Amino acid sequence: MKKMIIIATYNEKDNIENILSEVYKNVPDVHILVIDDNSPDKTYEIVERLALEKYHGQLFLLKRSGKLGLGTAYVAGFKWGLERNYDAIGQMDADFSHNPAYLPEMFNTLETYDLAIGSRYVAGGGVVNWSAKRKFISRGGSLYSKIILGIPINDLTGGFKCWRREVLATIDVDNFMSTGFSFQIETTYKAYINGFKIKEIPIVFEDRVLGQSKMSGGIFKEALLMVLKLRLNKNKFIKK
């Protein structure tokens, strides 16, 4: 199985070298695409150096002109992976909230499932170092989305996933409605309603130690409205 992982970055110079090292330690044969939105802290320069000096042929950089959003970064990464015929495409954060130790199990799950989700809200999963407000936003957002969309997935807001290429080729990566927080909900929803098999793998999510969280209440409110739009447009997303 030809594997790649997308890591979208914006001001992650404190984390990027360590997260790359841990990913390669757990999945030595994986290719990584870092998509950087012209980070003011020059995260991309670290990636460029490591691609030349340490991970030649396995580490790639896509540097964009500015802060264009997480959803658009993943779309660019999905298209990059599909064009290069990767069989499995993963996505994860750069800040160690997604532990690379889970990656082998997630990729192995793709032998029998189409999408593996690192889930905080199944037995064995959980969160560490979160405020009560952060827990409410994340858990409440997933529960609200699950009810409105009518799908049996417990963690719809998480961004730690591994996809079989067939799923991404089917759900039309050029035409997502979401660009922010709700992007994670939309991708999983489209996979489910098109009949793909999804497995939630329990993970413990630890809030970032270095750097600043990019979550906000405004992002959460925007996602709530997008869930309603997704439900209303369900029939448009099902491929015949």
Residue bearing tokens 């997604």: 98
pLDDT, position 132: 85
pLDDT, position 201: 98
pLDDT, position 240: 63
Distance between CA atoms of 116 and 107, rounded to whole angstroms? 8
Within its chain, how far is the Cα of 140 from the centroid? Answer: 19
In whole angstroms, how far apart are CA 215 and each of 134, 160, 220? 9, 16, 8
Distance between CA atoms of 23 and 99, rounded to whole angstroms? 9
Distance between CA atoms of 5 and 86, rounded to whole angstroms? 10
Total count of residues recorded for the chain: 240
> Could you give all domains of the chain from N- to C-terminal order, each with its CATH number?
3-237 (3.90.550.10)
161, HSE (Cβ side, Cα atoms, 13 Å): 24
In whole angstroms, how far apart are CA 32 and each of 20, 149, 190, 201? 8, 32, 25, 21
In whole angstroms, how far apart are CA 222 and each of 53, 133, 205, 227? 42, 17, 23, 9
* Strand ranges (E), the chain: 3-9, 31-36, 59-63, 88-92, 115-119, 126-128, 161-164, 198-202, 204-206
pLDDT per residue as tens, the chain (240 positions): 999 999 999 999 999 999 999 999 999 999 999 999 999 999 999 999 999 999 999 999 999 999 988 899 999 999 999 999 999 999 999 999 999 999 999 999 999 999 999 999 999 999 998 888 888 888 888 899 999 999 999 999 999 999 999 999 999 998 998 877 789 999 999 999 999 999 999 999 987 554 455 554 556 677 788 999 999 999 999 986
pLDDT, position 84: 98
Q: In DSSP terms, which residues pair with 200 in a beta bridge?
A: 117
What is the full DSSP assignment across 51-75?
HHHT-TTTEEEEE-SS---HHHHHH
Do residues 101 and 89 make contact, with C-beta atoms less than 8 angstroms apart? no
Q: At what angle do helices 183-193 and 132-149 cross, to 10 degrees?
A: 30
